[in-house]
Amino acid sequence: MIHTWFITGVSSGFGRELAEQLLSQGKRVAGTARRLEAVADLTADYPDAFNVWHLDVTDTPRIREVVDAAHERFGRLDVVVSNAGYGLFGAAEEATDDQIRHQIDTNLIGSIQLLRAALPHLRADGGGRILQLSSVGGHTAHPGGTLYQAAKWGIEGFTEALAAEVAPFNISVTIVEPGGARTSFAGSSLRLTPKLDAYDVSPSSTVRQALESGVDAPGDPARMAAAMIDNVDQDPAPLRLPLGSDSWTPIVSALESRLEDLRARKDVALSVESAD
């Protein structure tokens, strides 16, 4: 069977890597990008198997138009990949109101509205798969990443609940949680808040300095994309797919620490219930 994949953000990063691998395997890809010229080569090389539409995921009406157009073009959407997004880093107080709104509109609301737009088609066609790109930051909490992680924690909660809602329709959902990857994320997909000197003493300043100087990421984007593609053939679908040692190890550590903290509060938690 030739699967049709709908992928947001195919101009770079994981979206581009996924599109290239899928097209080389004979799959069909409906992609979205804010810069159509960045995928002109794919359009030329795969005129029958690849279509791309201009989309900014903060534009909800346009999301619905594009998803409907992609479904009409290919007749069905087997896999929907919510990938488009970027990282805003800096202390919470440093961010402007516009930066906060745009980060949440893009990484959280944009993903929610994309999946909502795709669900009627997936239901009507008898099922499908959803891959929601999250991050190691969907489980961990680091100073300097408050707003990025607010969006990622939010989309993890939404997607986990969604998985249960749509299971009766033969729609499976996987949350992809990559660690650092050698993609363009550190360039075009990373933004910093304005700097407040008062935060020079905060751990958030260390994060800022690391990002400004550049961070060596261990993840191979080609292997990570291949793992996402292979995951689609797993039945039952895993709810989560961590990718990279810098994802798996911190996530396990964060969950263990959270459980330890919760267990230490057990007596207090149970003490507030009425005796009768």
Of the residues 134, 135, 204, 247, which is catalytic?
A: 134
Between CA 178 and CA 22 the distance in angstroms is 19
Output the pLDDT for position 58.
97
CA nearest to 190, candidates 250, 221, 148, 152: 148
Query: In the annotation, is 148 catalytic?
Result: yes
Q: What is the mean pLDDT of the chain?
A: 93
- Which among 227, 87, 226, 244 is positioned nearest to 180, based on CA atoms? 244
Which residue in the list 46, 82, 135, 152 is annotated as catalytic?
A: 152
- As a 3-state breakdown, the chain gives helix, strand, coil percent values, each rounded to 5, of 55, 15, 30
Q: Side chain identity at 36, as an amino acid letter? A: L
Q: How far apart are alpha carbons 30 and 55 in whole angstroms? A: 12
pTM: 0.93
Among residues 82, 148, 172, 247, the one annotated as catalytic is 148
What are the tens digits of pLDDT across the range 166-214?
999 999 999 999 987 766 544 557 899 999 999 999 999 988 887 777 6
Is there a catalytic annotation at residue 195?
Answer: no
pLDDT value for 217: 67
The pLDDT, as a whole number, for residue 224 is 94
Residue of 13, 43, 12 whose CA lies nearest to 29:
43
- What proportion of the chain, given as a percentage, has pLDDT over 90? 87
